[in-house]
Amino acid sequence: MTRFMERDGVVFRPVEEEDKEFLRKLINHENVRDTIGMAPKPKNLKDEEEHVELASEQDDAAYFLIEYEGEKVGTISLENINRDYRRCHLGLSIHPDYHGQGIGTTSVQMITDYAFKDLNMHKVRGGYLEHNPASKRIMEKAGFQEEGIEREFKLVDGGWKDVIWMSILEQEWRE
């Protein structure tokens, strides 16, 4: 397996065909779906195959599998990479079995470094649903600041949830 980036036991690598079962289980995990506001339909292996194929073909996204101590633990991405305006959107999902171990924080720091150093971004933005303060803490530890609230942005288990947007600017990252 090709390692793209590594720090403190956290490894980013390209998503590969054999990862689709893990990805399906991750996205269907009740606690993961609840924190990212996925549409209430099950994701099957065919959906994951298409997702893996599309992710590898996109030039406006960087999508990685996260491994920790040899285990698949989650995914991280930079999406909507806009090279003209030098901005992108961060996405992170860590399997609940691996919460509280610093994997999310290290991963966000790593992908933020990549965005600014390698992709020459000016701004990285991410959001979390109002009932997910753990994501807020992860982004704060990586230097992100709150920008604002988008009301009733996602439907989660039949109820509308606000998303709180956070970002970090290149100059803030350099400090």
Closest-CA residue to 76 (of 60, 87, 90, 88): 90
Please state, in angstroms and rounded to a whole number, the distance separating the CA atoms of residues 117 and 24: 31
pLDDT band at 115 (very low <50, low <70, confident <90, very high): very high
Q: How far is 124 from 15, CA to CA, in rounded Å?
A: 22
Specify whether the CB–CB gap between 105 and 92 falls below 8 A: no
CA 160-164-169 angle, to 5 degrees, is 155
CB within 8 A of 25, min separation 6: which ones? none
Write down the pLDDT at residue 40: 46
Nearest by Cα to 63 from 123, 19, 127? 19
Q: Convert the pLDDT of each residue in 11-21 to its tens digit.
A: 999 998 889 88
Label residue 51 by pLDDT band (50, 70, 90): low
The three-state secondary structure class of 131 is coil
Banded model confidence at residue 158, pLDDT cuts 50, 70, 90: confident
Q: What is the pTM of this model?
A: 0.86
pLDDT at 99: 92
Q: Determine the number of helices (DSSP H) and then strands (DSSP E) in the chain.
A: 6, 8
Nearest C-alpha neighbor of 32 from the set 138, 162, 156, 170? 156
Residue pLDDT, tens place only, 128-153: 999 889 999 999 999 999 999 999 99
Domains of the chain: 5-126 (3.40.630.30)
